[in-house]
Amino acid sequence: MAPAFPDSRSVILTGAASPRGIGRASAHYLAGLGWNIGIIDLDDAAAKAVAEEIAAEHGVVAAGAGANVAREPEVRAAFDSLEAALPQVVALVNLAGVSSPVPYLEVTSEEWERVMGINMNGVHYATRRAVESMVENGVGRVVNLSSVSAQRGGGTFSKTVYSAAKAGVIGFTRSVARELGHAGITVNAISPGPIDTDIMGGTLTEERKTAMAADGVLPRIGTPRDIAAAIAYLISEDAGFVTGQTLNVDGGLYMH
- CATH number, domain containing residue 229: 3.40.50.720
CB 109 within 8 A of CB 155: no
For CA atoms 29, 243, 10, 115, the dihedral sign is negative
| Domain presence at residue 58 | yes
For CA atoms 157, 147, 64, 34, the dihedral sign is positive
Residue 211: the pLDDT is 67
Residue 21: the pLDDT is 87
Q: Strand pairing of 185-192 and 246-249? A: parallel
| Domain presence at residue 255 | no
Q: Strand pairing of 140-145 and 36-41? A: unpaired
| Domain presence at residue 66 | yes
Residues spanned by the domain of 114: 10-249
pLDDT over 80 (residue 156): no
pTM listed for this prediction? 0.94
CB 168 within 8 A of CB 146: no
| Domain presence at residue 19 | yes
Count other Cβ atoms within 10 Å, centred on residue 110. 8
For CA atoms 117, 123, 126, 132, the dihedral sign is negative
| Domain presence at residue 256 | no
Catalytic residues: 162
| Domain presence at residue 91 | yes
Convert the pLDDT of each residue in 27-67 to its tens digit. Answer: 999 999 999 999 999 999 999 999 999 999 999 999 999 99
DSSP state of 222: B
| Domain presence at residue 46 | yes
**142, exposed or middle or buried, with CB in 10 Å at 0-12, 13-18, 19+?**
buried
Number of independent structural domains in the chain: 1
Convert the pLDDT of each residue in 204-239 to its tens digit. Answer: 567 766 666 666 788 888 899 999 999 999 999 999
**Strand arrangement of the beta sheet that strand 246-249 belongs to:** 62-66, 36-41, 10-14, 89-94, 140-145, 185-192, 246-249
Band (pLDDT 50/70/90 cuts) for residue 139 is: very high
Convert the pLDDT of each residue in 60-88 to its tens digit. Answer: 999 999 999 999 999 999 999 999 999 99
CB 133 within 8 A of CB 9: no
Residue 157: the pLDDT is 77
Band (pLDDT 50/70/90 cuts) for residue 18 is: confident
